[in-house]
Amino acid sequence: MKYKYQIIGGSGFVGSRLISLLDQENCSNLDKQNSPFYKSITKIGDIRHYEQIILDPNCDCVILLAAEHRDDVSPTKLYYDVNVEGTRNVLKKMDELGITKIIFTSSVAIYGLNKKNPSETHKADPFNHYGKSKLLAENEIINWVNKDKKNKSAVIIRPTVIFGERNRGNVYNLLKQISSGKFLMIGRGTNKKSMAYVGNVVAFIKKTANLNQIGYSIYNYVDKPDFSMSDLVNLIERHIKIKVPSFSIPFWIGMIGGHFFDLISIFFKKKLSISSVRVKKFCATTQFNSKKMNLIFKPPYTLEQGLKNTLDYEFLEKNKDDIIFYSE
């Protein structure tokens, strides 16, 4: 049987939503762990090992989602083993089978911290091993295309932080804290955050997978408009019908508290949900330019609707299963 889409890393948060959108009858999935939803189309394989990469030679394109992405991966060599060497292995296997199109999910982490609304042409300046390894993987793909520009095609997608139903990442943790009614704002709440709803991200992946193009393209993925922290709190208050404290903690006091928790973490050798780094990230403005993406794609959900869908599923609905996905 010919599968239109060969997904690699489709057993996780984004991949599960993507297969649901594409229809599993059109998909084959390769992952190092089985899919909680789509076991019948999933083959087990780790892209770090070339011999384990089993692809459908007749597929229209490969969608490479597999990545090592958590902040606390140890040893750090794993970032490069999976994100760089794994990508290299996939491209080699594609050449062996004559597959000429790939969709690759990278990350805005390649831009680094504290950049002002960077577009796709902004200079790369990754600050951590995840961002560095994703940038190296992008370069592998670009070089792969450039060796045969007349036949090969690649789309590199750099999403900002992705949130949605079933995900247990930083956005979920923030929504949970605000929804509890015990949230205290640090700083003025005017700082804005770029976010991406998973339902829109997978729709964009489908869009690019079906584009008829040669060569490579790079797109940031962000759902606009960016919400400020105050906007986010107000939306949650209205939707869940709660009231959070209206006063805020000055940034400098928040940083002192963060450093205090850093010391506790070191003393007890335990990772805590509060730290000086998290306080700094919370109060920073993190925005990315999405004009290029908007030229070819209209998201099926507004950012507000994506947030409401997530709030409904996670905090208002009762009949849920226990399938969840963890990320940073």
Angle between helices 251-268 and 276-283 (to 10 degrees): 150
Helix (H) / strand (E) containing 44? strand 42-44
The Cβ of residue 81 has, within 10 Å, a number of other Cβ atoms equal to 16
The tokens describing 106, both together, are 């990278």
Write a three-state SS string for 119-133.
CCCCCCCCCCHHHHH
**Catalytic residue chosen out of the listed positions 38, 111, 130, 172:** 130
Task: Look at strands 185-186 and 248-249 and give their pairing.
Answer: parallel
| Tokens 């804005």, residue located | 192
Give dist(CA 56, CA 97) in Å, integer: 8
- Phi and psi dihedrals of 254, rounded to 5? -60, -40
Angstrom CA distances, 169 to 70, 298, 308, stand at 10, 25, 17
Contacts of 262 (CB under 8 A, 6+ apart): 275, 276
Confirm whether 130 is a catalytic residue: yes
**Which residues are marked as active site?**
130
